[in-house]
């Protein structure tokens, strides 16, 4: 029944055909179960494991690598190779792909856990009226029309419509659904609001929320998927994970690279068709296979096999750094996504605020003899910890607050007229509440006031252990006074009272809504001398003025406190006793903003990131908070920047689009609105980070480019998120964004490094094929270079230090390619030099080396006809391992120098020296040691087809390698000093890039 909130109790009962005093019959239960189904969230079939695994290989580069591995193995068999050499290359490739697939599978299974966690919030049992008798039944057995009784501590088992109140009031904590910081009072009357959101449905008890006060009966109106919790589950199921910007760019680059590789491989094969019949190959077919093998080697050289592993490693290093900032990353790609975030949709309660109600202002009557007649005090401290100071109107801190009569009696009333508990949790290291937030705030206030009669109070309390300190002053007053009778809070009185006895003296303490308390007062306590004076019209007007100032301008939640001397020996209270009270004071409390949020908001504005505050609270309260945290500092007024969910929905489509571009505050929202906001912003090409902690936030967290859950939030929110804030602090998000930007910059650097190295390998093989000289590098040697000698320095580049201005630049464009334009030209130049240096090293050994054969160059070019003619040298010289060892070593050393080039994109090595990243220096040393190991240790040298080199060989290798630094220094100089040099290479068709994105960005 979707409109139960708008129907009267009688209409709802008639709809289900149920009697208030008897409940459903067994026949009705069976019939309703058949029509509406069971009260459980349906089990969603999880993706089979084999499908998850196959999905990880659905990538063009990966498919090319698999094909290369298979072809490599088949060619080895065709050539008669057996044992380790036949399996080495394909095995290494497949191991890398398996490792990357494992990471992908783990990430994907996290998303399905969110749906499983949702079940944990369903109630287990319910007290149900059937056939005229109450019984306790399993919650899944409930059907629409069942009459259920709920009381304090009860978890609501389904969506219920209130039908009968069994106590003065019923309050429900529905924060997991709506994000409201305070419990909500429920009522029987139907809701008149059109387009009512969850917060407006004050007669509906939502599944999985908790009763915190009172007792009532209600009728089931929604079960299973037809509950508010069920709609959240459905929304999560409809949400598909968005690919991260980096993943998109790498996929685009992979597609481009695949086309280039295919083109070059075919070109090399076609160029050498004339050599297929060369006698050295033993026939046309074997010649074709030989050059096909070269093409495969070219593919292996062109594809950066280690790139996925290095990207994963770099992102993993970033997660470690973020963990130290209290940001726990659950999805590795989200680390980089943070760097291009353009909008942060932040929850208010608990993220921008502490989610701990705290008394911030007190107003008392100072004196009737001189002006001003009232006094105002400010209280510091924003958590449940008993830490903070009380200051007077001039800002002067009070040394002994308990010596002032009004403050002393406020502390007494706060401690005694109170049903809550505050305690210290040693496991979490913080103070926790049990009960209503407003009552806990009063307990904390009593601790800050301290106790009378001690000169060192309240500082002496700091000597206590945290467990004792939590409620020391409250316990003192509870021991001094014996509670005799209690009048609970009720909606009509809007107050509660407690009768206390002490030393043959009976006192009634009362607290409640200021309008209720002040109207019942005839006297007022003076703060200067502790005297009691009549409450005149002038004093009443002054107090009401202060109350309206607290509640209006400062949007504080206000309570008034009062007392009354009762007859000696009185043992009970009646409502008639709540008159002729003595006013003690007015307290104003709020959920205070976190101290560090102001600077974090400012950092976002500087970095070009827009912050939208999204909350279920009312508009006035949220606007007040936004003023305090500086979210509205750049605005003259709030018109066009602050909307409630219903106001936004009523706007025409065009005005909604314009509103989204200016919006700073979005209030009175429910789960569907949060998800809608994320989708709308994403349609405007924004990269959206969404924060949340409740079950209600899960769909939006899953839909956002990066979902950020609170450490104190629900398991559902955490499972649906990409990142969890251990300290629930908005400032941590800003620090994580800076880290994300730095990680992306480093990711770009090592991707460019690997690309330039692979270009060098392609140039090497291509030039060798075109010149007609023997193969310069074996496939297994290329794999060694790609995985080990490229991988270690590339990973170490991820440790490059964060730029000082990383949060002073605008977010990068989502469509920005990893390698474009002038940079691509730069790395083509570097890659070309790497390849040519490798080929020159190979030719040098044959033609010029003292330890080589010193062949004429023409003989080297005609090596394949050696066996068919007379020569002055044996043909076996072309199988010598020296030349390929020189080529491979040149390739390794030149890439080590190239790694130093990537300490910075444009800064010279003279400005950013190698020792600025000791990890890179260490990785270069380790890489060279590993390379020397395979050269000089016998089993390894045979495996990699290499041989030891002489000192003369090493000198030539150094001379050929070092110029790569000089070349890149020249290119960096042009980058720094010439803005006109730009080459607009495109990795894809221009029409694939959304034109709106170009215009907006």
Catalytic annotation, residues = 347
Provide the 8-state DSSP code for 636.
S
471 in Cβ contact with 422 (< 8 Å): yes
84 in Cβ contact with 92 (< 8 Å): no
Read off φ and ψ for residue 202, nearest 5 degrees.
-75, -5
Q: Which two tokens stand for residue 675?
A: 């998800």
Region for 355 from its dihedrals, namely left if φ exceeds 0, alpha if ψ lies in -120 to 50, beta otherwise:
left
Q: To which residue do tokens 């314009």 refer? A: 658
203 in Cβ contact with 1 (< 8 Å): no
Count how many Cα atoms sit within 13 Å of the Cα of residue 732 in the half-sphere of its side chain.
Answer: 25
C-alpha separations of 781 from 264, 590, 715, 763, 764 in Å? 20, 68, 49, 15, 13
The number of helix segments (H) and strand segments (E) in the chain equals 35, 29
Q: Is the dihedral of CA 699, 702, 706, 707 positive or negative?
A: positive
Q: Which two tokens stand for residue 829?
A: 């130049």
State the CB neighbour count (10 A cutoff) for residue 49.
10
954, containing H or E segment: helix 951-961
List % helix, strand, coil for the chain (3-state, nearest 5).
Answer: 50, 15, 30
Closest CA to 830 of 673, 968, 645: 968
Tell me the angle at which helices 951-961 and 882-901 cross, rounded to the nearest 10 degrees: 40
Read off φ and ψ for residue 148, nearest 5 degrees.
-120, 140
| Residues β-bridged to residue 613 | 346, 665
Q: Is the dihedral of CA 358, 361, 366, 368 positive or negative?
A: negative
Look at residue 247 and give its three-state secondary structure.
Answer: helix
Give me the helices (H) in 534-634, please.
Answer: 537-548, 597-606, 619-629
C-alpha separations of 932 from 322, 883, 946 in Å? 37, 16, 11
Pairing relationship of beta strands 688-692 and 147-151 according to DSSP bridges: unpaired
Greatest CA separation for the chain: 131
680-685 long-range Cβ contacts below 8 angstroms, 24+ apart: 680/656, 681/343, 681/345, 682/242, 684/657, 684/660, 684/1000, 685/814, 685/994, 685/996, 685/997, 685/1000, 685/1001
Q: To which residue do tokens 């040691």 refer? A: 929
Q: Which two tokens stand for residue 689?
A: 């980070």
Closest CA to 111 of 40, 179, 55: 55
Peptide bond preceding 960: is omega within 30 degrees of 0, i.e. cis? no
Read off φ and ψ for residue 23, nearest 5 degrees.
80, -170
DSSP 390-413: EE-TTSPBPS-GGGSHHHHHHHHH
Look at residue 610 and give its three-state secondary structure.
Answer: strand
State the CB neighbour count (10 A cutoff) for residue 202.
19
Q: Which two tokens stand for residue 7?
A: 């129907």
* Residue 821, C-beta contacts closer than 8 angstroms, at least 6 positions apart: 982, 983, 984, 985
């Amino acid at each position: 029944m979707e409109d139960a909130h708008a129907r009267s109790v009688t209409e709802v009962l008639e709809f289900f055909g149920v009697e208030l005093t008897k409940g459903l019959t067994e026949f009705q239960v069976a019939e309703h179960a058949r029509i509406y189904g069971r009260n459980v969230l349906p089990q969603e079939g999880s993706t089979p494991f084999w499908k998850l695994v196959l999905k990880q290989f659905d990538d063009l580069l990966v498919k090319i690598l698999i094909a290369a591995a298979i072809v490599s193995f088949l060619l080895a068999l065709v050539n008669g190779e057996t044992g380790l050499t036949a399996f080495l290359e394909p095995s290494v490739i497949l191991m890398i792909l398996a490792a990357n697939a494992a990471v992908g599978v783990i990430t994907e299974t996290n998303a399905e856990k969110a749906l499983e966690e949702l079940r944990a919030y369903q109630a287990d049992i319910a007290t149900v009226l059937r056939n005229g008798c109450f019984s306790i039944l399993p919650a899944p057995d409930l059907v629409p029309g069942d009459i259920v009784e709920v009381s304090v501590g009860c978890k609501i088992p389904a969506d219920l419509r209130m039908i009968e109140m069994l106590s003065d009031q019923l309050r429900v904590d529905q924060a997991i659904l709506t994000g409201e910081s305070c419990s909500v009072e429920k009522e029987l009357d139907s809701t008149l609001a059109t387009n009512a959101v969850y917060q407006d449905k004050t007669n509906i008890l939502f599944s999985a929320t908790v009763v915190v006060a009172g007792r009532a009966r209600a009728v089931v109106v929604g079960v299973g998927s037809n509950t508010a919790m069920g709609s959240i589950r459905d929304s999560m199921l409809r949400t598909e994970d968005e690919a991260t910007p980096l993943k998109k760019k790498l996929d685009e680059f992979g597609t481009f690279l695949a086309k280039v590789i295919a083109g070059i491989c075919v070109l090399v094969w076609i160029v050498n068709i004339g050599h297929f019949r060369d006698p050295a190959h033993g026939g046309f077919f074997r010649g074709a296979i030989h050059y096909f093998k070269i093409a495969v080697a070219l593919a292996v050289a062109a594809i950066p096999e280690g790139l996925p592993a290095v990207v994963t490693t770099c992102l993993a290093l970033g997660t470690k750094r973020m963990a130290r900032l209290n940001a726990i990353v659950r999805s590795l790609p989200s680390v980089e996504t943070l760097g291009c975030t353009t909008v942060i949709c932040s929850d208010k309660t608990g993220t921008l605020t502490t989610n701990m109600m705290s008394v911030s202002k007190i107003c008392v009557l100072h004196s009737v003899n001189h002006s001003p007649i009232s006094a105002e005090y400010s209280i510091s401290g924003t958590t449940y910890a008993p830490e903070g100071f009380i200051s007077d109107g001039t800002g002067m801190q009070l040394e002994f607050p308990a010596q002032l009569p009004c403050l002393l009696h406020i502390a007494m009333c706060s401690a005694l007229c109170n049903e809550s508990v505050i305690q210290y949790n040693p496991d979490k290291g913080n103070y926790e509440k049990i009960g209503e937030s407003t009552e806990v705030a009063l307990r904390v206030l009593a601790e800050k006031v301290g106790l009378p009669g001690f000169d060192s109070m309240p500082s002496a309390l700091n000597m206590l252990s945290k467990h004792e300190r939590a409620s020391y002053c409250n316990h003192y007053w509870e021991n001094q006074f014996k509670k005799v009778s209690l009048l609970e809070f009720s909606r009509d009185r809007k107050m509660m009272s407690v009768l206390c006895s002490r030393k043959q003296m009976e006192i009634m303490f009362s607290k409640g809504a200021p309008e209720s308390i002040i109207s019942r007062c005839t006297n007022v306590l003076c703060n200067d001398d502790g005297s009691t004076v009549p409450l005149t019209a002038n004093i009443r007007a002054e107090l009401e003025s202060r109350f309206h100032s607290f509640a209006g301008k400062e949007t504080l939640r206000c309570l008034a406190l009062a007392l009354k001397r009762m007859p000696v020996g009185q043992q009970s209270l009646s409502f008639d006793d709540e008159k002729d009270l003595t006013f003690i004071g007015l307290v104003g409390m709020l959920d205070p903003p976190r101290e560090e949020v102001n600077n974090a908001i400012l950092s976002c504005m500087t970095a070009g990131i827009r912050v939208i505050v999204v909350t279920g609270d009312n508009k006035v309260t949220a606007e007040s908070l936004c003023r305090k945290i500086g979210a509205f500092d750049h605005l003259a007024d709030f018109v066009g920047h602050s909307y409630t969910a219903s106001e936004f929905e009523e706007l025409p489509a065009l005005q909604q689009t314009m509103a989204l571009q200016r919006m700073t505050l979005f209030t009175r929202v429910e789960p569907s609105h949060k998800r809608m906001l994320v989708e709308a912003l994403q349609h405007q090409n924004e990269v959206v980070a969404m924060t949340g902690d409740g079950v209600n936030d899960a769909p939006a967290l899953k839909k956002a480019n990066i979902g950020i859950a609170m450490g104190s939030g629900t398991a559902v929110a955490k499972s649906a998120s990409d990142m969890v804030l251990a300290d629930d602090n908005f400032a941590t998000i800003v620090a994580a964004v800076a880290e994300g930007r730095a990680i992306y910059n480093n990711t770009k650097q090592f991707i460019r490094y690997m690309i330039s190295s692979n270009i060098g390998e392609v140039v090497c093989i291509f030039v060798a094929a075109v010149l007609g000289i023997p193969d310069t590098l074996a496939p297994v040697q290329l794999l060694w270079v790609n995985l080990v000698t490229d991988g270690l320095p590339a990973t170490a580049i991820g440790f490059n230090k964060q730029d000082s201005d990383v949060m002073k630049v605008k977010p990068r464009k989502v469509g920005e390619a990893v390698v474009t334009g002038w940079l691509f030209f730069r790395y083509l130049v570097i890659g070309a030099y790497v390849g040519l240096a490798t080929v020159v090293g190979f030719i040098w050994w044959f033609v010029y080396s003292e330890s080589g054969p010193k062949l004429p160059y023409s003989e080297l070019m005609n090596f394949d006809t050696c066996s068919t003619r007379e020569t002055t040298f044996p043909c076996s010289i072309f199988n010598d391992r020296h030349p390929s060892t020189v080529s491979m070593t040149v390739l390794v050393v030149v890439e080590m120098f190239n790694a130093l080039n990537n300490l910075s994109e444009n800064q010279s090595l003279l400005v950013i020296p190698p020792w600025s990243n000791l990890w890179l220096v260490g990785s270069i040393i380790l890489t060279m040691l590993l390379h020397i190991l395979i050269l000089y240790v016998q089993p390894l040298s045979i495996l990699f087809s290499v041989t030891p080199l002489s000192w003369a060989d090493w000198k030539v290798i150094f001379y050929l390698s070092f110029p790569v630094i000089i070349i890149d220094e020249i290119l960096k100089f042009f980058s720094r000093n010439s803005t006109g040099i730009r080459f607009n290479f495109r990795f894809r068709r221009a029409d694939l890039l959304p034109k709106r994105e170009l215009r907006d960005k």
